[in-house]
Amino acid sequence: MKKLLSLVVVVVLVAGGWYYLRSRPSATGEAGGGATGPSVASVIQTNIEFSVNAAGEISPAEQVSVRPEINGRIEILPVDLGDSVDKGALLFKLDDKELRNQYDSSRVSVERARLELDKSQRDFERAQDLLDDKLISQELFDNTQTSFELARNALERAQKELAILEERLTRTEVRAPFDCTVLTRPVSVGQAVSGSGGFNSGTEVLTIADLDNLVINAHVNQADVPRLKVGQTVEVAVEAVAGLSVTGIVERIAPQATFKNNLKGFAARVLLKSPDRRVRPGMTANVKIPVDSAANVVAVPVVAVFTEKNETTGKRERFVYVKQGEHYERRLVTLGVSDNFFAEIQAGLRAGEVVALQMPDEKLVLKPDTSQAGSGSGVPGASTRAPLTLRNG
């Protein structure tokens, strides 16, 4: 039993030693910040484009919920989902038989009231002549005048009722207010519908929209809004259509911030220019807002740039660690445009040099030459003081 236990211990020790040898860092230190140095990258020349992104939902610039103005029953419904409809074309028609019967009866009432008014007018004029000749009493004349006024009022009332019915008849037909596409059609022929002046603003018969003019309602982070302006051209990528990129114009920016998904930002509306027919309302779009760019510039990865505050001037300084053989030189740099990956170096580096991606060990950093007072460092571009505790910035 003791021999078996000893054998197990030996096997465990051998396996542990093998794992240690396999997992220890490479002696070069180039890949993972080993004992001899951090990971490095070359200074390159490239193009840098800095932009901010915002997500939003595509929707029609014009969308209308079509509801009848009066109560009725759907008699004609010639359109369906996805149909393209020209401006002025019939969208639906209500059954107007009852209204037409009422209209015909009202016309008869108007004619009867007109005849009665004519008769009352003749009686009134004759009574006026008889009163002048003192052949009738004043009371009889007053009665004749009252009958004439009542007949005139009756004609006016009948004419108003006829006009109301005539207008209601025109509202039985609903036509497209602009060139549009049918998005929804929740009712069918024969279904009773209520007018927009009734309960719940009436029954929705159709939803129509102008799909030739689409907009994106985006929520832009408050930190990015100052970079955005009305009329600015932006790039739009539609998630549902792989590889599709369209151009948009910033149409509106809300004057007041709102919260969306617990983030404070500003609503912005982007108008799509000549949208692809594959783009549909409700799709998600990513808006890329260009802010700055630089072409063919010297650049390094942003993680290679470090920041510290100069204790003398109080200003923040940017610097990198340039590889010099087995050591690193701390060198101040001037930054230009940067994105999420690269930073432009306007001064302090040249293409082809190698910089550290992490802060090297203090033992690997070249010390400034302080033997000559006032002459600066013995290494060109090096700092005149020893490295402090720094952080990426």
CATH of the domain at 152: 1.10.287.470
- What does the block give as tokens for 290? 């260009």
Give the pLDDT score at 32.
39
Domain containing 76: what range? Answer: 64-95+172-209
CATH classification at residue 316: 2.40.420.20
Which neighbouring-strand residues pair with 85? 180
Same domain, 205 and 71: yes
Residue 83 and residue 184 in one domain: yes
Domain identity same for 271 and 366: no
pLDDT beyond 80 at 169: yes
Residue 114: per-residue pLDDT: 94
User: What integer pLDDT is reported at residue 65 of this predicted model?
Assistant: 94
- Distance, in Å, from the CA atom of 43 to the CA atom of 249, rounded to the nearest integer, reads 36
- Position 17 confidence tier, pLDDT thresholds 50, 70, 90: very low
* Nearest to 303, CA basis, from 391, 197, 388, 216: 391
Q: What is the reported pLDDT for 76?
A: 95
Residues 151 and 202 in one domain: no
* 69: CATH: 2.40.50.100
Same domain (yes/no): 184, 83: yes
Structural domains counted in the chain: 4
- Using the 3D structure, point to which of 229, 260, 292 is the last residue of a domain: 292
pLDDT at 275 over 60: yes
pLDDT in tens, 347-371: 989 899 999 998 888 888 887 654 4
Q: How confident is the model at residue 23 (pLDDT cuts 50, 70, 90)?
A: very low
Q: How confident is the model at residue 199 (pLDDT cuts 50, 70, 90)?
A: low
> Which residue type, as a one-letter code, is found at position 123?
D
CB of 75 closer than 8 Å to CB of 91: no
388: in domain: yes
Residues in the chain: 393
In terms of domains, do 348 and 376 share one? yes
Closest CA to 210 of 272, 285, 283: 272
State CA 53 to chain mean position distance: 11
Q: Are residues 194 and 149 in the same domain?
A: no
Which residue would you say has higher pLDDT here, 237 or 4? 237
Tell me: do 110 and 150 sit in the same domain: yes
Q: Which residues pair with 269 in a beta bridge?
A: 217, 252
Distance of alpha carbon 7 from alpha carbon 3, whole angstroms: 6
Q: Tell the burial category of 98 from Cβ atoms under 10 Å away from its Cβ (0-12, 13-18, 19+).
A: exposed
Q: What is the CATH number of the domain that holds 219?
A: 2.40.30.170
10 in a structural domain: no
Same domain, 287 and 329: no
Residue pLDDT, tens place only, 236-250: 888 888 888 888 899
Band of residue 156 on the pLDDT scale cut at 50, 70, 90 = very high
Query: What's the pTM value of the predicted model, to 2 decimals?
Result: 0.58
The reported pLDDT for the residue numbered 52 is: 79
Sheet holding 72-76, edge to edge: 173-175, 90-94, 72-76, 192-193
Question: Percentage of the chain with pLDDT > 90?
Answer: 41
Same domain, 248 and 358: no
- Please check whether residues 162 and 234 belong to one and the same domain: no
Name, in order, each residue with C-beta under 8 angstroms of 287's C-beta and a sequence gap of 6 or more: 53, 54, 55, 56, 216, 218, 234, 235, 236, 248, 268, 270
